[in-house]
Amino acid sequence: MVAVFTVLLCGCGGSNDDEPDVPVTPDEIEYKPLSGLNPDVPLLNGYEKIVGYQLWGTEKIPDGDLTGEGFSYDYWKEHKGEAKSLEELLALCEVPQEQLAAMSTRNLVLTCYLHPYNSIYNAYDNQYLGIMSAMSANCWQELMKRETGATQLLDLYCELTYLTSKSSIDIEKEVLSYLDYKELTSSNPMSLNPLTLAMMTAVDRNAYTPEQLTRIAGEIFKKINNILNAEDGIYSYVGDIRYHYLLGAFISYRYDRTLSPLELSLLYDLTGWIGLPGYDSKTGRHFTDKHVANALEVVTKSLERIEQGSLLATAP
């Protein structure tokens, strides 16, 4: 599978503004591993100070008895043309607090998934900060406080699939209709990328059990195969596949204690460059297409071990 991505990655590293003027053949660049990495330290350590809120805190709201309906963003649809700024647009999407507090967690995660401005992560150079900006919405803030919030996010990730033909993408819409939740539509598959980024924050903050991490590992392979089985030209590594590999890299880096220092370094760089090649002019460090492919191979082998139960075997 990794060999496929070696081909897909070819040429996608040229967009970095800090690339050196003189082109260098990737095969000639030796990888410089980082030393002193500690996988017990979250990869997103320090981000909470930037965004101004806590990710997936330890104090949780019991949610077993909550049965309220979800939120359909009708007010936003009716009034978005009147907004004069992004702040005003985001305010139109805020869920009334009384409705938010009563909403079932299942309906709450759907409300988060369908938030109209999840895609603002794309406007950020650092997409982790971008998704955290989107997650400042009050529905996401509520989800992170719920007892089963991370679990419901995982369940939704497992349910969603990619459309596999150009005609279906042009014509069809994904319809979510669950029990007491209003029927809503959302374009597929772009809405899955911010959800996958949000799951990375949960993985990084120890929100999942070894059993759940094992489940996620298996689902990552399903998502990648789902994409690879689609018609040619619908999806790409850059636009779709890398987010699932990044989710796997977060799991592997934080929880796979069989990784060597070199493998840890490759995963650290893969997540740091958000799955793409790059060049840091301050340090002179390269992360080439070849290095990305090597990191993807580390992720693949690690997830295979995790899917087979390696985390369960070592869990206390």
Over the stretch 116-139, which tens digit does the pLDDT of each residue have? 899 899 999 999 999 999 999 999
Of the two residues 10 and 61, the one the predictor is more confident about is: 61
Whether the CB-CB separation of 8 and 296 falls below 8 Å is answered with: no
Q: Is the pLDDT of residue 202 over 70?
A: yes
Q: Would you state the pLDDT for residue 12? A: 41
Whether the CB-CB separation of 124 and 133 falls below 8 Å is answered with: yes
- Band of the pLDDT at 171, cuts 50, 70, 90? very low
- Band of the pLDDT at 315, cuts 50, 70, 90? low
Contacts of 35 (CB under 8 A, 6+ apart): 261, 265
Most confident segment among 81-95, 177-191, 205-219: 205-219
Q: Would you state the pLDDT for residue 14? A: 37
Q: Is the pLDDT of residue 2 over 90?
A: no
Q: Would you state the pLDDT for residue 191? A: 67
- Band of the pLDDT at 59, cuts 50, 70, 90? confident
The predicted model gives 69-82 an average pLDDT of 89
The label of the residue with tokens 């992560």 reads 121
- Band of the pLDDT at 4, cuts 50, 70, 90? very low
The predicted model gives 31-41 an average pLDDT of 94
The rounded distance, in Å, linking the Cα atoms of 262 and 259 is 8
Q: Would you state the pLDDT for residue 168? A: 55
Write phi, then psi, for 78 (nearest 5 degrees): -80, -30
The tokens of 202 are what? 């949960």
Q: Where are the alpha helices (DSSP H) in the chain?
A: 2-9, 47-51, 74-79, 86-92, 97-102, 105-113, 127-134, 138-145, 149-159, 166-171, 192-204, 210-228, 242-255, 261-272, 289-307, 310-314
pTM (predicted TM-score): 0.87
- Band of the pLDDT at 26, cuts 50, 70, 90? low
Q: Would you state the pLDDT for residue 94? A: 94
Q: Would you state the pLDDT for residue 235? A: 86
Q: Would you state the pLDDT for residue 86? A: 84
Q: SS3 for 263-288, per residue?
A: HHHHHHHHHHCCCCCEEECCCCEEEC
Q: Is the pLDDT of residue 257 over 50?
A: yes
Tally of CB atoms within 10 A around 69: 15
- Band of the pLDDT at 160, cuts 50, 70, 90? confident
Whether the CB-CB separation of 259 and 302 falls below 8 Å is answered with: yes
